[in-house]
Every structure is written in C-alpha cells, then in structure tokens.
Chains A and B, each alone.
Chain A
Amino acid sequence: MSFITRGFSGRGRDRDPRLPPGQTLVEDWPVLSAGPTPDIDPADWEFVVATENGRHTWNWDEMHALGVEDITVDIHCVTHWSKLEMAWRGVPLDKIFENVETSYDYVMAHSYGGYTTNVPLDELLDGQAWIAFEADGEPLTPEHGGPARLLVPHLYFWKSAKWVRGLVMMPSDDPGFWEQNGYNLHGDPWAEERYW
C-alpha cells in the first residue's frame, strides 16, 4: 500500500554539472554519526599500517613530517548531498606507502570506535587519498572525524573513514561496516554505486 499525500513534495532537488547523479548541493556540512563520537588527543593518536610482513606506525608528529599537502576537492555523500570545492590539508597515502611492502591489493580502514570500510589499494594511491587533519582552514572537529580522517573524495564519503587509526592490508576485498549492511563494495558516485 502506498499513496500520494496531497501537497507533499519533499525537499527541493536541483542540478549542477559538477554533481553526480542523484546528488543535491549543500552549503553546510551535514554530520552523520552512527555511534558515539570518540575524543582522541593528538598526543595519544597513533596510525598503523598492518601488512602480511608486519606493522608500520606513525605518531602525530611523524605523520605530519611525511609532508602535508593542501588540496581542493568535491565530496559526495551517499545520502544525496554533495559539497563542492572544499579545502583540505593532509598527508597523501602515497607518502605512507613509500616504505610499505605488500603483495595484497585491498585495504580495510579501521577507526577509533570500531568503524571499518574497505577500499582497493590502487584507489588510495596516485594522489587519490589522504590522511586529513584540516578542512576549510580549521582542524577537523571530532564530529567531522578529527583529529584525523581518511579522505577518498572520488568515492562516496562513507569511504572517508572518520577517526581513522590504521589500514590493514587484505588479500581479498572484504566488506567493511556499511558494505556488510547493504552499501556497495566500491561506491563510485558517478556510477551511482550506492547499494548492492
């Protein structure tokens, strides 16, 4: 059973060529919280990359010393909002993987609080992804994933894991949290890869 309620139209939906299909432009920055917001002091923050060969770790200062970049990117949330030309600062994953040896092709990103999301390694390299600390000129707030979040702007924003704490290399493309619960393994907004 389903029928139309007179006069109800939902929110307005507009178009811009920079918007992938099904997306709407927002000026604010919506927060999507699927759990408690962790409060992490950068002094306690540690980032780990785990491979079949061992672990690599960086503390806050060591991560920054890899080289911080300024970038401007568009972000697209699977919940139909997009934000254009956002200024970010972060360390490209190319720097992190310079000294990491692995034969595995897939990555599970892990966050403080237990969130996970999967991404193929080749979609994190060649200037496609960062460990980000700042957005719009301000340090990332805890609500937006601070002190550090993964930034993978060419995929739906759930791949840009908030409160990121490490990457675990995997031989196969195992699903992360939302990917186990109906969302697409890959998540390309231009192909509208929302669900599976």
Chain B
Amino acid sequence: MTHRPAAWHAATVRSVSRETASARRIEFEVPTWPGNDAGAHLDVRLTAPDGYQASRSYSIASSGDSRRVVLAVDEVPGGEVSPFLVHELQPGDQVEIHGPLGAYFVWTPGDERPVQLIAGGSGVVPLYAMAELHDREQDSTPFRLLYSVRTPDDRFFASELEQIAARGRLEASYVYTRAVPAGWHSAPGRVTRDALAAATWPVDRRPRIYVCGPTPFVETVADWLTELGHEPRAIRTERFGGG
C-alpha cells in the first residue's frame, strides 16, 4: 500500500457519460491527486454563490497513480448533491474533492487468498475498482463477484465486467431483484442465503470478502456470511446511502 495522504483537491470535469438510466460516469482531472488504492472513496463538496455548501461521499471506480479520477454516481431522487452531479455538471466545471479516504475498504494485489466481492446496486463501484486493478495488474488471485441489482440495464460497468470475466479473470454472478433477462434461470427476487452460499467461495478457501451496498443489504449478507462460517475479520463491509 502506498502512502497517499488525504487532502483537499480541485477537480476539473474531463468527461461525463451515461452509466445507467439513473447514473452517470464522471471523469475528473486532478493535477494534485496522489493516486488511490482500489476501493477507496472521496468526499465531493459543492459551494453555492451564497456560500452554502453540501458534500457527499463517493467510491472511486479508478485506482493507481493516475491523476484521472473516475466516479459513477447514482441519482438519489430528492437528494441535494447527486441530482446536480448526474444532470447539471458539465466538462470544464470544477468541484472540490477530499481524499483518498478509507484505508479499511481497499484491496491491494499480492495476497494469495481468493477474493469475494458482493455488491448491492451502486455499491459495485469500489468492487469494480478492485476487479479492474486485479485484471490490469495480471494478479493471480482468484476473484468472484456476486452483484445484486434491479435489472440487467441497471448494472454499472456492465461491459467492463463482462470483458474482465471473458478474459477469465473474474467469475461474475448476478441476482436481479426487479426484472430478469429472457430465459434467466430464476424469477426476479432478492438474494437468498442459499444463493449466496452457492455463488460465493466456500469457507475452506478462506476468501477475503468485500461487501458494499445499502445498509440492509450489507447487514443481511454479512450476517449470512458469518452464519456460513466465514471469519468475521475476513468480511469487510461498507454501507452507503444519501444523495
């Protein structure tokens, strides 16, 4: 892990693109960025002309030494920051960012234990950063992802994850809670304990497990993992909410 002190930075929007119907990918240029580990997050702060400020935390989809920082922001209806980021922010605009943050919820290559990623909704962003780094570094650790998401169209980084999986560097399984593709093996519904046990590394492989999603999802999954016999210390969780 490289020493990367948290600090405030001026970030300039380089590009924005549609991620899903409700989410947008935003690429920032941050000349003073020290780089970040895969899984880290940052705080975005917006300031209005009258001095009013609002800030929110977002996981970083990119990692490494780059001065380019990628976020994928899901709009929280009625929120104060995410609707602005998703609809108003344009290339050339500047925001303040504080980071990188969160040395707990990061993965670094060079460890032999298999990795299990478990995502709920936009909680996939820091887990995508881990899978992407693992792929880019040609790391030999086996990686699995279980991704619970409303519909196939709501997947973040859908084509990137498919490409990583196609290269044999990730075993990805999906649970669709609202709508499934034609011919899918099951009806839409939430992840169950049995589905979790079937799609994740068995206990005797001693995986490192990263769970990120809304609080009820994370707590349900973490409880099941503990019941299945995974060591609590091997389960790292990050809850998100608010917009």
Q: Which residues of A contact B (CB under 8 A)?
A: 1-11
Q: Which residues on the A side are within 8 Å of B48 (C-beta)? A: 4-5, 8-10
A–B Cβ pairs within 8 angstroms, 13 of them: A1-B8, A1-B96, A2-B45, A2-B53, A3-B96, A5-B47, A5-B96, A6-B93, A7-B93, A8-B48, A8-B54, A10-B48, A10-B80
Q: Assess A5 versus B8: contact at CB under 8 Å? Given A10-B48, A10-B54, A10-B80.
A: no
Q: Assess A3 versus B80: contact at CB under 8 Å? Given A10-B48, A10-B52, A10-B54.
A: no
Measured CB to CB, the closest approach of chain A to B150, in angstroms, equals 25
Instruction: Give the size of the chain B interface in residues (CB under 8 angstroms).
Output: 18
Q: Assess A5 versus B95: contact at CB under 8 Å? Given A10-B80, A11-B80.
A: yes
- Rounded to whole angstroms, the CA-CA distance of A9 and B46 in the bound complex is 9
Q: Which residues of B contact A (CB under 8 A)?
A: 8, 10, 45-49, 52-54, 80, 84, 88-89, 93-96
Q: Which residues on the A side are within 8 Å of B84 (C-beta)? A: 7-8
Q: Which residues on the B side are within 8 Å of A6 (C-beta)? A: 93-94
- Rounded to whole angstroms, the CA-CA distance of A7 and B46 in the bound complex is 10
Measured CB to CB, the closest approach of chain B to A35, in angstroms, equals 14
**Which residue of the partner chain A has the closest CB to B8?**
A1
Q: Which residues on the A side are within 8 Å of B49 (C-beta)? A: 4, 9
**Which of B46, B93, B94, B96 neighbours the largest number of chain A CB atoms within 10 Å of its CB?**
B46
B88 touches A2 (CB 8 A): no
Q: Which residues on the B side are within 8 Å of A10 (C-beta)? A: 46, 48, 52, 54, 80
- Rounded to whole angstroms, the CA-CA distance of A3 and B53 in the bound complex is 10
- Rounded to whole angstroms, the CA-CA distance of A10 and B45 in the bound complex is 12
**Which residue of the partner chain A has the closest CB to B87?**
A7
